[in-house]
Amino acid sequence: MENSKNLRQSSDFIQSLERGLQVIQAFSEETPKLTVSQAAKITGLSRPAVRRILLTLEALGFTESANGIYSLTARTLTLGYAYISSQNIWNIAVPIMREFVEKTGESCSISVLDGAEVIYVARVPANRIMSISLDVGSRLPAYASSMGQMLLACLPEEELHKVLDETPFKKYTENTIADKESMMEELDKVRERGWAGVDQQLEQGLRSIAVPIRRGDGSVIAAINCSAHAGRVSRKTLREEFLPLLRETSDRITQAVSISSGSSLGSL
């Protein structure tokens, strides 16, 4: 975090690139189409700057426009897939995750932390219908998800406070922990026991459990979870039956990646 701050103040920092990425990130599920004015309001950038950025992105094939309304094109997917394809650890993880799904009959996912959200980087769904549609690249609020709580609990204290201060807490269900003080208390418990569990905090009827995935040096690089319908899988089953299997799966992924890379995960 400190290194990132220093880089932003360096003469090597390209502010125009930062602004271009801000404009791309202004598009979301809630705002798939934007005018220049709307994108400027979301990013906090000036209208002329946003207009130039959108026109540049359109020339490069990353956006398209109709009657002054812009939307992203499929080409923007290459930005995300560049990360996924370069991180072969997630490709290696999928067969191991699939074994977990076959044993439990429930979905298994891996995500990394990005600010106040988690991003799914690997997922093996069970053959069941859920109202939340999740895939690689999906984002969820960290505070309301098991993987998010696991990853938040592993942050240094100063960084954790910063993330939670910038988190737009929202009450998704009556079980959602939607304030900083209560979340800090929950994260203390997660840190102490080494796993995170949410019971219908993000969606009614959905509960999940998560553990960390670590590098060879012990630092956390991601979280892996199991999610299930509350009417089908009890909290006791998650803790007593699925948690040991999930920990074993996490350990196997760490070992497989270490062997594949020819060194410890600390070198990745």
pLDDT (tens digit per residue) in 205-243: 899 999 999 877 778 889 999 999 988 889 999 999 999
pLDDT, average across residues 13-31: 90
* Tokens standing for residue 55: 């026109």
Among 131, 120, 103, 108, smallest CA distance to 227 is for: 108
- Beta carbons of 66 and 100 less than 8 angstroms apart: no
| Pairing relationship of beta strands 139-141 and 117-124 according to DSSP bridges | antiparallel
The predicted pLDDT at position 102 comes to 93
- Beta carbons of 202 and 138 less than 8 angstroms apart: no
The predicted pLDDT at position 80 comes to 67
Q: At what angle do helices 88-104 and 243-261 cross, to 10 degrees?
A: 150
Angle at 196 between CA 108 and CA 100, to 5 degrees: 25
Residue 86 has pLDDT above 80, yes or no: no
Confidence of residue 266 (pLDDT cuts 50, 70, 90): very low
Long-range contacts of 124-130 (CB under 8 A, 24+ apart): 124/94, 124/97, 124/98, 124/100, 125/101, 126/101, 128/229, 130/206, 130/227, 130/229
The predicted pLDDT at position 30 comes to 85
Q: What gap in Å lies between CA 229 and CA 246, rounded to an integer? A: 17
Question: What is the tens place of the pLDDT at every residue in 28-67?
Answer: 878 999 999 999 999 999 999 999 999 999 999 899 999 9
Number of neighbouring beta carbons within 10 Å of residue 37: 12
Collect all residues with Cβ–Cβ distance below 8 Å to 64 and sequence separation of at least 6: 58, 70, 71, 73
Q: What gap in Å lies between CA 110 and CA 84, rounded to an integer? A: 12
Residue 153 has pLDDT above 80, yes or no: yes
Q: What gap in Å lies between CA 96 and CA 122, rounded to an integer? A: 11
pLDDT, average across residues 152-181: 92
Residue 265 has pLDDT above 80, yes or no: no
Element (DSSP H or E) covering residue 249: helix 243-261
The predicted pLDDT at position 264 comes to 40
| Pairing relationship of beta strands 196-199 and 206-214 according to DSSP bridges | antiparallel
Residue 1 has pLDDT above 60, yes or no: no
Element (DSSP H or E) covering residue 88: helix 88-104
